[in-house]
Amino acid sequence: MYVWCYNDIGDFMKVVVGMSGGVDSSVAAILLKKQGYDVIGLFMRNWDAMVNNDVNGNPTLNNNICPQEQDYNDALAVCEKIGIPLHRVDFVKEYWDYVFTYFLDELKKGRTPNPDIMCNKYIKFDMFAKKALELGADYIATGHYARIKDGKLLRGVDANKDQTYFLSQVSRKQLSNILFPVGDLEKTKVREIAKEYGLITATKKDSTGICFIGERNFKQFLSNYLPNTPGDVINIENMEKVGTHVGLMYYTIGQRRGLNIGGNESRMFVVGKDLNKNILYVALSNTDYLISDSAVIDTINWISDVKPSTCTVKFRYRQVDNQVEVEYVNDNEIIVHYPQGVKSVTPGQACVFYLGDECLGGGIIKEVRKNNKKLWYL
């Protein structure tokens, strides 16, 4: 059944869909066309794929086509299949200036940034949106697993694919004319629809790695932009040296694999970093070093009018919700308290606020505390 979508002067409502070359945006376009919208596809080129390397350090070419060009070809094939036009836009400079530079700056500070969140804020829902308006868009759509109802940003129906965490820095204004067509669907249903329409993306695997940069040898990739500075690995339980790290930027709090320090490595995990002394702290058995009970959050972005005194938060994507009490310090800084204790809360990561299914907004973890004191090793 078609639901014809008109604007107030009788024309079809025009929707510009961000076509990534993946199955989610492909099905988003199908659903919108079935609903009667005038659908236009728009593919974003945000990274110079010629600098890409695979996990072995070799140029990522597939039949002499780099992955980004393959994504464009897949998006084009989908648009031709369902009968909509596809435009292409280049945001390489903007991505570098607003997302990748931020990513590198945070790593230099010893923090763990999430570039996908900033990509949504500055590229997908800003630069992309402006281009869509130039194409005459009444609405903008993406393949995100999220929902908007009554002006509220809600989690996607598929709890395993919900992407509101990555939308937490997008403003309410930016979301005012956004459609999320697959937000009410399970991933399995999305693939079923793609197969029903015979789309090339129906069985294409989901993208991983850094947003728009893709899968690669992370250490080798970063070494092109930041110098490797080896230093001591210290067991924080007895302050003895147990090995040498290859650069603090390559390690995350709670990490257990890939430490390459020998001996009891399989039982060791990262608990902190000292940027000034270039020390990586690990622990062998005491997980208490990973546990905090409060955190200072800045770079606050509220999507909702609700400013809760209690709510749940996610400190990482795919993490379970954590109950917190919210202390408001000023307009751009709050403290969340979680006396039950949470492992591996990490500076630089996002803290995203929820009331039930509603995503209220989010901020960036500035400082991690225990017993009202900053953890000295973070």
Which residues form the catalytic set?
Answer: 119, 211
Spatial neighbors of 129 by CB under 8 A, at least 6 apart, are: 140, 174
Sheet holding 231-235, edge to edge: 240-245, 231-235, 279-283, 269-274
For residues 221 and 107, the answer to whether their CB atoms sit within 8 Å is no
- Going by C-alpha positions, the residue among 210, 192, 216 that lies closest to residue 202 is 192
For residues 164 and 154, what is the distance between their CA atoms, to the nearest angstrom?
A: 7
What phi, psi does 286 have (nearest 5°)? -90, 100
For residues 364 and 323, what is the distance between their CA atoms, to the nearest angstrom?
A: 17
Contacts 24+ apart (CB under 8 A), 304-310: 304/152, 304/153, 304/172, 304/355, 304/358, 304/359, 304/360, 304/361, 306/355, 306/358, 306/360, 308/353, 308/355, 308/360
CA diameter of the chain: 74
Other Cβ atoms within 10 Å of 165 Cβ, number: 23
Report the Cα 83 to chain-centroid distance in Å. Answer: 30
Residues 288-327: b if buried by 16+ CB within 10 A, e if exposed: ebbbbbbbbbeebbbbbeeeeeebbbbbbbebeebebebe
Entry field: residues in the chain = 378
Q: Which residue has the tokens 């059944």?
A: 1
Bridge-based pairing state of the strands 291-302 and 333-343: antiparallel
* Distance linking the first and last C-alpha atoms of the chain: 56
